Amino acid sequence: MRPLLRAFFAAAILIEATQAQASWFEAKSKHFIIDGDVDPQELTDYAKKLERFDQAVRIARGMGDPQLTDAGRLRIYFMRNADEWRRLTEGDDALGEYGSSAAGSFAFVQKMKGDRPGDFNSDLLLFHEYAHHMMFENWAAAMPTWVAEGFAEFFSTAKINDDGTVVLGSAADQRSIGVYGLHHDYPLSDMLSDRGGWLTGRQVDIIYSRGWLLTHYLTFEPSRRGQLDKYLSGIQSGESARQAAEVAFGDIGKLDDELDRYANQKSLPGVVIHTDAAKIGSIAVAPLPPGTAALTPVQLRLNYGVSPADERFVAGEARRLASDFPSDPFAQSTLAQAEYVAGYYSAAEAAADRALAADPTYVHALIYKGRAEMQLARANPATADWKAIRGWFARANHADTENAEPLMLYYESFAAAGQKPTESAVKGLIYALVLAPQDQRLRWMAARQLLADGKVTDARQALGPIANDPHGGVGRGKARDVLAAIEAGDNTKAASVIDDIEREWKQY
């Protein structure tokens, strides 16, 4: 798309949304923060539905339920309709998107259902991605691609009933072509072996569809119960995926035949989970304050991701909108982020200062004050005050100890200064990965440090999710190169590959 049209679409989502600032509401629940320019009752109902889903997955998998600060909650932007979504995404016809980093986890969904074949809708997408979100939260160990995607697909078809029950195991109609089609492009033996290499779109579809079917079968077939856990345990104990599959499942050809028969049954089993309304907790819904409502469309754009062609335009819009709210910490810290993304570091620092004058503990402003000063220090190393820069990240960490971003930035400041990280910085980095396990760059940073510290097993574990990500592209291949080097005992080569990746991150 040409830059002029990109700017037009970027303007549309900002200008139209700010014309009705008072319509923006926020719903906050135990696990979610949902912002939308929709009726507040819709946000309340949506939050209840998501909380029931969260509770059902935790019951089904025996997962814990840790307390979360705002940094750990999934923030969802609720689009009014498909037109608003297309303006945000410059014409994308997807039903929603999910992204996660040390800065937080974000989802962007449409209010309206998509008219896709096989009943594919925005709930399926969000349930799938949130299942991944929960998976990372609870399972540190790497797992084969088909397990990760099969798990997410299994829970994506959940049915949330008005009586509070949740049905798990509904058929994945949106995957019917992959379930019933020929599988010679990616045989079950290859899928279970989790072989590397570039995957075609057809092979990825088979991983999703047959992964869902196999997860469903292993969950509900009495004669196979416990085999999935045995398979995963074998891999974690050092067996290859192929060896673990043969030990856990026996004859793979027999399992493949059983899967085909299972798929052709008239109906598939499921399970009804009775959720507890009392455990959902309170859902607070309130209109956003004027400054927050005005700048939320900008923050939405920043969290979704701004293309290089739009960075200056978004910063200009943020400047225009925030000028009416010079003492509003949300408005000014959002402006600070927009200026930072556009490369206006002095302006970003000034906006962060205004936010901190209003609220000295405002975490987002503390982060962007430190970020801006770190970039200015890189440009002028002779006058850099790294102690003061790290002080901003330390203050942000003190204000919210469960926020991964200040910990990551504190560690990163040592590399920016050309200094060896302190022990506390390294500990902070590793804890940041615990807090934000979905952040791939954080994984690369942690793996490199763990290798330097001789913690090879931990480094291997940190890279496992990247190596098994079917959407990982070059990163998936690089992670597998690192793991192969580690297995060969060549930690120097493994570190060199990670250093190359880190240089690419910095250029980006």
Which structural domain range is residue 466 located in? 439-508
* Same-domain pairing of 181 and 223: yes
* Same-domain pairing of 139 and 74: yes
- What's the rounded Cα separation, in Å, for the pair 102 and 408? 8
- What's the rounded Cα separation, in Å, for the pair 186 and 193? 11
Task: With beta carbons less than 8 A apart as the criterion, state whether 352 and 365 touch.
Answer: yes
pLDDT of amino acid 292: 95
What are the two backbone dihedrals, phi and then psi, of residue 79, each rounded to the nearest 5 degrees? Answer: -75, 140
For residues 165 and 185, the model is more confident at 165
**Predicted confidence band at 21 (pLDDT cuts at 50, 70, 90)?**
very low
pLDDT of amino acid 196: 61
pLDDT tens column, 74-123: 999 987 766 776 666 665 656 678 888 999 999 888 765 444 434 446 78
7-21, 132-146, 371-385 — which one is most confidently predicted on average?
371-385
Question: Is 413 part of any domain?
Answer: no
* Same-domain pairing of 136 and 186: no
pLDDT at 15 over 70: no
25-39, 338-352, 425-439, 461-475 — which one is most confidently predicted on average?
338-352
For residues 109 and 13, the model is more confident at 109
| Average pLDDT over all residues of the chain | 86
Count of domains forming the chain: 4
Bridge partners (DSSP) of residue 74 are: 32, 105
pLDDT at 298 over 50: yes
pLDDT of amino acid 420: 95
pLDDT of amino acid 143: 77
Question: Is 409 part of any domain?
Answer: no
Residue 337: CATH number of its domain = 1.25.40.10
Question: Is 425 part of any domain?
Answer: no
* Same-domain pairing of 200 and 299: no
Question: Is 122 part of any domain?
Answer: yes
Q: Which of 1-15, 193-207, 461-475 has the least mean pLDDT?
A: 1-15
Tokens of 477: 């291949």
pLDDT of amino acid 12: 44
Question: Is 163 part of any domain?
Answer: no
pLDDT of amino acid 85: 66
Residue the block writes with tokens 């200094």? 419
Q: Which of 197-206, 219-228, 477-486 has the least mean pLDDT?
A: 197-206
Which are the contacts of 445, defined by CB distance < 8 A and separation ≥ 6? Answer: 408, 411, 412, 429, 502
- What's the rounded Cα separation, in Å, for the pair 210 and 362? 47
pLDDT of amino acid 2: 32
171-175, 279-283, 472-476 — which one is most confidently predicted on average?
279-283
Q: Mean pLDDT over residues 271-287, rounded?
A: 93
* Same-domain pairing of 14 and 29: no
Give this prediction's pTM: 0.85
- State which of 339, 364, 384 marks the end of a domain: 384
- What's the rounded Cα separation, in Å, for the pair 86 and 408? 33
- What's the rounded Cα separation, in Å, for the pair 202 and 207? 9
